[in-house]
Amino acid sequence: MNASHQFCVAPMMDWTDRHDRFFLRLITRNARLYTEMVTADAIRFGDRARLLDFDAAEHPLALQLGGSDPTMLAEAAKIGEDWGYDEINLNVGCPSDRVQSGAFGACLMREPDLVAACMEAMRAAVNIPVTVKCRIGVDDQDPQTALPQLVSSCREAGVEVFIIHARKAWLEGLSPKENREIPPLDYPLVYALKQQFPDLTIIINGGIETLGQTQTHLEKVDGVMVGRAAYKSPYFLADVDRLIFGASEAPLSRDEIVERLIPYAERLVAQNTPLHALTRHLMGLYQGCPGGRLWRRYLSENAVGANVPASVLQGALDVVQTQRARAALAS
């Protein structure tokens, strides 16, 4: 197992783009990061630079693919490897309508042999790890049967790493948001899967919000993947390197992270990328801190629109530091 699988940040549509990942890498040096899902067709026929470019600082970094055609996925996986990604991950867990209409994502839980064929084709095309992210089942499937069947089929195809979102996906009747919250979590089922397949790397996902929860799960499985908590309150990741990976160096402070982001923001603006492409990911950085509300307000009011200078980030930091100083004097 690659040690970085001990703690991963989930692929999240519209959230974990390259700018968010650059930001997260300033908080944790070791967590494995995942791209938003990119379809195999988009990679084969679309603007590859726009879809696949990333900063070298983002490693270790996995590319998540969506698709169900083994040949197309193999081609896309090879392109991803050549682009410099460290891992190719197949989405077998997303319940979005966009995904169902393309015959991939969580609906593939019903077709374990097809998933295995896709994994075998991708493994034959690349020399980097090829992994699966799935649910415990869909709709009326029995997870006690469906999940081991999928894992067993993919294991026979040579897959060694499985990321399990410990909820069912209901493809009819629930929205993607509801599918992240309403189906009950079944962590014991994932623990049992690790017992059943001790040679495989099993990573648990779903409803994990703290490092305390992470450490509890790591007593039962090989790794943990965190999703929305890492986006909404990202600075909790600052303790990941020390508590999960045993690092000794201190993490950057929130203020130091902003200072490191300013040159990055200047490069974006120089390339005619709107500053908001970065700042939209930063809203939760000062969550729970003095000045946190002012930080969000300042960015919301000043970082949106055309021709916004990178200096807005410094302005937001100044507001936070001023509020912090006032709070210290008041106490």
| Residue in the block written with tokens 């009819």 | 172
Does residue 132 share a domain with residue 229?
Answer: yes
Same domain for 282 and 159?
A: no
Looking at the fold, whether 23 and 163 belong to one and the same domain comes out as yes
- CA 277, CA 15: separation in Å to the nearest integer? 10
234 and 258 part of one domain: no
Q: Is 8 a catalytic residue?
A: no
Please check whether residue 184 lies inside any domain of the structure: yes
Question: Would you say the pTM of this structure is higher than 0.85?
Answer: yes
Q: Give me the CATH number covering residue 274.
A: 1.20.120.1460
236 and 282 co-located in one domain? no
Domain that holds residue 323: 254-330
Does 263 lie in the same domain as 202? no
CA angle 203, 225, 234 (to 5 degrees): 165
Question: How many whole angstroms separate alpha carbon 120 and alpha carbon 114?
Answer: 10
Q: Is the dihedral of CA 17, 22, 27, 32 positive or negative?
A: positive
Q: What is the reported pLDDT for 150?
A: 97
| One domain, residues 284 and 225 | no
What share of the chain in percent tops pLDDT 90? 85
Q: Are residues 208 and 320 in the same domain?
A: no
Is 59 within a domain? yes
Examine the domain organization and report whether 226 and 284 are in the same domain.
no
Domains identified in the chain, total number: 2
Cβ neighbors of 299 (< 8 A, separation 6 or more) are: 279, 282, 283, 312, 316
Annotated active-site residue in 94, 118, 134, 154: 94
Q: Is residue 236 part of a domain?
A: yes
Instruction: Please indicate, yes or no, whether residues 108 and 238 belong to a single structural domain of this protein.
Output: yes
Taking only the tens place, the pLDDT of each residue in 144-153 is 999 999 999 9
pLDDT digits (tens, 9 = 90+) for 28-54: 999 999 999 999 999 999 999 999 999
Given a contact cutoff of 8 angstroms between Cβ atoms, the answer to whether 230 and 255 are in contact is no
Whether 249 is in a domain gets the answer no
Co-location of 278 and 219 in the same domain? no
pLDDT in tens, the chain (331 residues): 446 699 999 999 999 999 999 999 999 999 999 999 999 999 999 999 999 999 999 999 999 999 999 999 999 999 999 999 999 999 998 876 555 555 778 889 999 999 999 999 999 999 999 999 999 998 889 999 999 999 999 999 999 999 999 999 887 766 666 766 667 899 999 999 999 999 999 999 999 999 999 999 999 999 999 999 999 999 999 999 999 999 999 999 999 999 999 999 999 999 999 999 999 999 999 999 989 999 999 999 999 998 999 999 999 999 999 999 888 888 7
CATH code for the domain of 109: 3.20.20.70
Q: Are 234 and 27 in contact (CB under 8 A)?
A: yes
Give, as one character, the DSSP assignment of residue 105.
G
With beta carbons less than 8 A apart as the criterion, state whether 222 and 274 touch.
Answer: no
pLDDT at res. 107: 85
In a domain, 248, yes or no: no
Q: Do residue 261 and residue 217 come from a single domain? A: no
